[in-house]
Structure 1
Amino acid sequence: MKKPLYVYDDSLLKYRFNSTHPFNQMRLKMTTDLLQDAGFLKDDDIIKPRGATDDELLLVHKKDFLDAVKAAGEGTLPEDKMESYGLNTEDTPSFTGMHEKSRMLVGATLTAVDAVMEGRTDKAVSLAGGLHHGFSGRASGFCVYNDSAVAIEYMRKKYSKRVMYVDTDAHHGDGVQWIFYDSNEVMTYSIHETGRYLFPGTGSLTERGTAEGFGFAVNLPVDAFTEDESFISIFKESLEAAIIKFKPDIIISQNGVDAHYRDPMTHLSLTSRSFEEIPRFVCEMSDKYTDGKWIAVGGGGYNIWQVVPRMWAQIWLAMSDIDAPRGRLPEPYLDKYQMDSPVDFPQDWEDDTHDYQEIPRRAEITEKNESSLNRAMLHLES
């Protein structure tokens, strides 16, 4: 078995809106440090990213949008043009060098793609990516360019692959879905908190694609406060059915960890158990159905001290066929970060769930989720 590869460089930390914005790429460095300090990630596992070219970005993005991003990052885009491109909003403020820093995240994902497609590895992770809300002509929801969509189209055009996109972020993967909504060569799968309560408000069961793409968009909206058992059972049954129906050549998975119960921006109630199981199941599916071909990217996750590094580390551990660790985190990692943490810093790999709130509507939530699963399965079997 070829060893997996990990795409990382400090240049990826420069994608930063402002000092108070919840999207903080320090979580990427913390994850990398955790894996290295624990001895799970070696220097020769890491490959450096390249920047995406304009031609690569234009695989899914419109030229006038690229021009607007470049101008906004140089401070030359007129204020009255900003809004139409989703720039300088509360969610997606403009920042200096925005095009250059955004294209690095896309290039990091393409670096993972090329490593797999060229046969250097079967599995690669680029945690800097996962910006699934970006549209072809508009920034949205903390996302400027949509690295996953560019990577999917790149695999379609350059390598003639059928691509399965799997999104387990708490937020619906709307940008990727809409870009491929009329295509039968890409299947988009998203399990997420229902849009009744959460941005972007889309991702209902009835969003199934259009024209040739009808049936190739799969959505599993789950109720607020969904817990591990309900989420994992629905995820496993529906994802395998979707893969069997579509018969992909490769899986690209978006691994937002904002469905964790400690995330400040969502209303789901998952613990570390789910984030250990999710990548292990995707890994199993890739081994079973796509000859081991799997690319993983990051995504949401806004509790960078208590949640993201430990949960994202599980993706690399799953790829590397290393059992989920138990017990105390490595001392060098604790020494590096816990003094700066504004909240209680986790000491162990698994969650200490002393602050977990029991869910009073568990049976009702589980029943509603089962109903969603049953409807989705009917679609997949039709």
Structure 2
Amino acid sequence: MSPATDGGRPVLVYSEALTGYDFGKDHAMSPGRVRDAVTLARSLGVLEHLEVVAPPPADDTLLETVHTPGYIEAVRRGEPDESHGLGTSDNPVFPGMHEVSSQVVTASVEAARQVWEGHALRASNIAGGLHHAMPDRTSGFCVYNDVAVAIRWLLDHGVERVAYVDVDVHHGDGVQTVFYDDPRVMTVSLHETPACLFPGTGFPTETGGPGALGTAVNVALPPGTGDSGWLRAFDAIVPQVLAAHRPQVLVTQHGCDSHAHDPLADLDLSVDGQRASYLALAALADELCEGRWVSTGGGGYAVLHIVPRAWTHLLAIVGGEPLDPETPTPQAFRDLVGEYAPLTMGDGVEVSFRHFDDGFSPDSRLDQAIMATRRAVFPELGLDPGF
């Protein structure tokens, strides 16, 4: 059964409790980046266009739709456990880990519920996007896979086809793993090549299980790819595969660690280019899903001068009132960032790209990457890879 599609005011699912997802002051996954993004969005009037909804209480029955009971119990104990990936330098245990991680999950499920039940066409949980978590272990700073649980909730409540698009610089391996054999879910990930970057998966040849070939789409980009190349790859693949899948709901993950200044990876995007990707995904939700769009945050480790601006742009687009990149940053934000604080909400970059169908360059590593993905999945979807 499909809900009404005349949803109300767009929703941000958020409470201060979500910032308790905290691996410690020396860890890259700073909880302050979520709080700072919300503060910046509020100061620029972005939240005036969103209904802010608190996440529901933690719910183990939701976790169990994706995660094993043994793993959930290990997280609840809050002790190092090598068999479940707990207690490593990447994934140290912290007080209240189970409780706050569970609430990140309920926040993403609430965003999905708001959209599918017709209360809103667009809903976001920027504290979510923990896409590396596996059914039985912690991975890559991710305890519970809120995105996978939200998608599972949608499937369990009548959605026949979901598309998931992940623009984090790292491969969305956990979500892909959960739905690799499920033809109802298409997972699309654009990331730096796994030959160079954690988690070492996400090659174009990973295309889905035997009953779901073509529903895992991986675009493995060469290091140094900037705005024009990234958007060229997106445009060459994502609209076509999503249209072939015909999703009823679009779920997206917006890790902003693809930025040139992010310390953990080697793509070269600007905030302006990231903003362009958010606008493109919003348009695809409108075109293919009658506007139904659930978005989350994700990675991003330039925590002061990049992440808050990127996610403020995301929330502005979710709210239907995109911010001009030339909008001045508030003085309070500049004071927080310090001497090198950005003066505007963009990086002063003019974003453009050349469409792939206008010509394939066989010597270009970017175009080779695009063609590797198109050749791997387009025929499975009845599409012509071209060239």
Q: What is the TM-score with the length of structure 1 in the denominator? A: 0.91
Aligned-partner Cα distance in 2 for 1:51–1:267: 38
Q: Work out whether residues 222 and 372 of structure 1, in 8 Å CA contact, stay in contact via their aligned partners in 2.
A: no
The more displaced of 227-236 and 122-131 is: 227-236
Q: What residue in structure 2 maps to residue 109 of structure 1?
A: 108
Q: How many percent of aligned residue pairs carry the same amino acid? A: 34
Residue pairs, 1:35-46, within 5 angstroms: 35-42=41-48, 45-46=51-52
Q: What residue in structure 2 maps to residue 360 of structure 1?
A: none
Q: Which of residues 47, 54, 71 is equivalent to 1:48? A: 54
Q: Work out whether residues 111 and 294 of structure 2, in 8 Å CA contact, stay in contact via their aligned partners in 1.
A: yes
Query: Where do 5+ consecutive residues of structure 2 fail to align?
Result: 1-5, 350-362
What secondary structure is seen at the aligned counterpart in 1 of 2:163? strand
Q: What residue in structure 2 maps to residue 381 of structure 1?
A: 382
Deviation of the 1:343 alpha carbon: 6.3
Deviation of the 1:341 alpha carbon: 3.1
Cα distance 1:313–1:25, how it changes in 2: closer, same or farther (>3 A)? same
Q: What residue in structure 1 maps to residue 75 of structure 2?
A: 69
Aligned-partner Cα distance in 1 for 2:27–2:348: 27
Q: Work out whether residues 106 and 146 of structure 1, in 8 Å CA contact, stay in contact via their aligned partners in 2.
A: yes
Q: What residue in structure 1 maps to residue 203 of structure 2?
A: 204
Aligned-partner Cα distance in 2 for 1:278–1:340: 27
Q: What residue in structure 2 maps to residue 230 of structure 1?
A: 229
Q: Structure 1 residue 348 and structure 2 residue 344: aligned?
A: yes
Aligned-partner Cα distance in 2 for 1:301–1:198: 15
Deviation of the 1:33 alpha carbon: 1.1
What secondary structure is seen at the aligned counterpart in 1 of 2:46? coil
Q: What residue in structure 1 maps to residue 359 of structure 2?
A: none
Aligned-partner Cα distance in 2 for 1:372–1:243: 18
What secondary structure is seen at the aligned counterpart in 2 of 1:220? strand
Q: Structure 1 residue 217 and structure 2 residue 223: aligned?
A: no
Aligned-partner Cα distance in 2 for 1:52–1:193: 34
Cα distance 1:350–1:43, how it changes in 2: closer, same or farther (>3 A)? closer
Aligned-partner Cα distance in 2 for 1:373–1:181: 16
Q: Which of residues 23, 28, 49 is equivalent to 2:34? A: 28
Q: Work out whether residues 258 and 267 of structure 2, in 8 Å CA contact, stay in contact via their aligned partners in 1.
A: yes
Residue pairs, 1:34-183, within 5 angstroms: 34-42=40-48, 45-72=51-78, 77=79, 79=80, 82-183=81-182
Q: Work out whether residues 11 and 53 of structure 2, in 8 Å CA contact, stay in contact via their aligned partners in 1.
A: yes
Aligned-partner Cα distance in 2 for 1:263–1:343: 18
Deviation of the 1:165 alpha carbon: 0.7
Q: Which of residues 330, 334, 341 is equivalent to 1:338? A: 334
Deviation of the 1:366 alpha carbon: 3.3
Q: Work out whether residues 241 and 380 of structure 1, in 8 Å CA contact, stay in contact via their aligned partners in 2.
A: no
What secondary structure is seen at the aligned counterpart in 2 of 1:107? helix
Cα distance 1:43–1:228, how it changes in 2: closer, same or farther (>3 A)? closer
* Letter matched to residue 164 of structure 2: Y
Q: What residue in structure 2 maps to residue 356 of structure 1?
A: none
Q: Work out whether residues 258 and 265 of structure 1, in 8 Å CA contact, stay in contact via their aligned partners in 2.
A: yes
Deviations 1:326-350 (A, max 9, x none): 435343xx32x43343662111111
Aligned-partner Cα distance in 1 for 2:50–2:285: 24
Aligned-partner Cα distance in 2 for 1:296–1:215: 23
What secondary structure is seen at the aligned counterpart in 1 of 2:187? strand
Q: What residue in structure 2 maps to residue 281 of structure 1?
A: 280
Deviations 1:299-350 (A, max 9, x none): 000001110011111212222232332435343xx32x43343662111111
Aligned-partner Cα distance in 2 for 1:116–1:205: 31
What secondary structure is seen at the aligned counterpart in 1 of 2:182? coil
The more displaced of 197-206 and 31-40 is: 31-40
Aligned-partner Cα distance in 1 for 2:248–2:239: 14
Deviation of the 1:368 alpha carbon: 3.0
Q: What residue in structure 2 maps to residue 12 of structure 1?
A: 18
The more displaced of 289-298 and 312-321 is: 312-321
Cα distance 1:106–1:30, how it changes in 2: closer, same or farther (>3 A)? same
Q: Work out whether residues 17 and 92 of structure 1, in 8 Å CA contact, stay in contact via their aligned partners in 2.
A: yes
Q: Work out whether residues 305 and 343 of structure 1, in 8 Å CA contact, stay in contact via their aligned partners in 2.
A: no
Aligned-partner Cα distance in 1 for 2:275–2:210: 37
Aligned-partner Cα distance in 2 for 1:264–1:294: 30
What secondary structure is seen at the aligned counterpart in 2 of 1:159? coil
Cα distance 1:352–1:290, how it changes in 2: closer, same or farther (>3 A)? closer
What secondary structure is seen at the aligned counterpart in 2 of 1:6? strand
* Letter matched to residue 139 of structure 2: S
Q: What residue in structure 2 maps to residue 188 of structure 1?
A: 187
Aligned-partner Cα distance in 1 for 2:50–2:374: 45
Deviations 1:59-97 (A, max 9, x none): 01000000000012xxxx4x5xx1110100111111111
What secondary structure is seen at the aligned counterpart in 1 of 2:305? coil
Higher helix share: 1
Q: What residue in structure 1 maps to residue 357 of structure 2?
A: none
Q: Structure 1 residue 268 and structure 2 residue 264: aligned?
A: no
Deviation of the 1:380 alpha carbon: 3.8
Structure 1 runs (4+) deviating above 4 angstroms are none
Deviations 1:263-310 (A, max 9, x none): 000000011222111111111111111111000000000001110011
Aligned-partner Cα distance in 2 for 1:93–1:215: 36
* Letter matched to residue 23 of structure 1: M
Cα distance 1:352–1:185, how it changes in 2: closer, same or farther (>3 A)? same
* Letter matched to residue 298 of structure 1: G
Query: Where do 5+ consecutive residues of structure 1 fail to align?
Result: 354-362
Q: What residue in structure 2 maps to residue 357 of structure 1?
A: none
What secondary structure is seen at the aligned counterpart in 2 of 1:196? coil
Aligned-partner Cα distance in 1 for 2:53–2:178: 29
Give me the CA root mean square deviation.
Answer: 1.8
Deviation of the 1:25 alpha carbon: 1.7
Q: What residue in structure 2 maps to residue 359 of structure 1?
A: none
Q: What residue in structure 1 maps to residue 249 of structure 2?
A: 250
Deviations 1:30-59 (A, max 9, x none): 111111111121286211111341110000
Q: What is the TM-score with the length of structure 2 in the denominator? A: 0.89
Aligned-partner Cα distance in 1 for 2:367–2:295: 31
